[in-house]
């Protein structure tokens, strides 16, 4: 088993969905995540707030987020256990992020 980091990227905020559609969408996330959790292949997994601070440079300049274009915002992350990158990608395809025109980045964890 290898560890992979799933990074969810998408538009900030409610994706322009109505409250009912948003509710339905959130239920899909719960179902998908719940499935990973119950299969025992889910590690740390948390959604992120759309705000934050960025610390950069040798001078440690602090700026307010967002850090890149709003439609590329990282909305959350999940550590997933999978056999290899192919299996991880297959798992990723089930993610509801694609329904709102989002992206999912699958990154193998580097063993040091």
Partner 1 sequence: MAENTNKEVDKIVDHLFRHESGKMVAVLTRVFGFPNIEQAEDIVQDTIIRALETWKFGKLPDNPQAWLYRTAKNKAIDLIRRQKVKHKIENDIAPLLRSEYTMMPAMNEMFTENEIKDSQLRMMFACCHPSISQEGQISLMLKTLCGLSTHEIAKAFLTSEDTIQKRIYRTREKIKEEKISLDYPGADAMVNRTDTVLKTLYLLFNEGYNSSHPEKLIREDLCEEAMRLLMLLTETPKTNLPQTNALLALMCYHISRFNSRLDDKGLIVLLKDQNRAQWNTFLIDKGNEYLQFSANGEVIHDFHIEAAIASAHANAPSYEETDWKMILQLYNTLLQRTNSTVVALNRAVVLGEVEGYEKAITELENMKGLEENCYYNASLADMYLKQGNSELAKEFLRKALTLTSSNAEIELVRRKLADCK
Q: Footprint of partner 1 on this chain (CB under 8 A)?
A: 26-27, 29-30, 33-34, 37-38, 40, 42, 44-47, 76, 78
- How near is the Cβ of 91 to partner 1 at its closest, in Å? 15
Which residue's CB is nearer to partner 1, number 27 or number 84? 27
CA angle 58, 109, 9 (to 5 degrees): 75
Considering beta carbons, is residue 5 or 33 the nearer one to partner 1? 33
Helix/strand/coil (H/E/C) assignment for every residue in 24-70? HHHHHHHHHHHHHHHHCCEEEEEECCCCCEEEECCCCEEEECCCCCH
In the complex, minimum distance from the CB of residue 62 to partner 1, in angstroms, rounded to a whole number: 25
Q: Are 66 and 73 in contact (CB under 8 A)?
A: yes
Which residue, 27 or 101, has its beta carbon nearer to partner 1?
27
Q: Which of 101, 100, 104, 102 is nearest to 91 (CA)?
A: 104
Rounded to the nearest whole angstrom, what is the least distance from the CB of residue 59 to partner 1 in the complex? Answer: 34
Q: Which is nearer to partner 1, 6 or 88 (CB)?
A: 6
């Amino acid at each position: 088993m290898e560890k992979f980091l799933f990074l969810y990227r998408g538009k900030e905020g409610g994706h322009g969905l109505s409250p009912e559609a948003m509710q339905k969408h959130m239920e899909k996330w719960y179902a998908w995540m719940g499935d990973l959790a119950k299969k025992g292949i889910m590690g740390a997994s948390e959604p992120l707030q759309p705000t934050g601070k960025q610390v950069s440079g040798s001078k440690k300049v602090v700026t307010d987020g967002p850090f890149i274009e709003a439609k590329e915002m990282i909305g959350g992350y999940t550590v997933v256990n999978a056999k290899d990158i192919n299996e991880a990608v297959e798992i990723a395809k089930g993610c509801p992020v694609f329904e709102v025109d989002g992206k999912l980045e699958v990154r193998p964890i580097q063993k040091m």
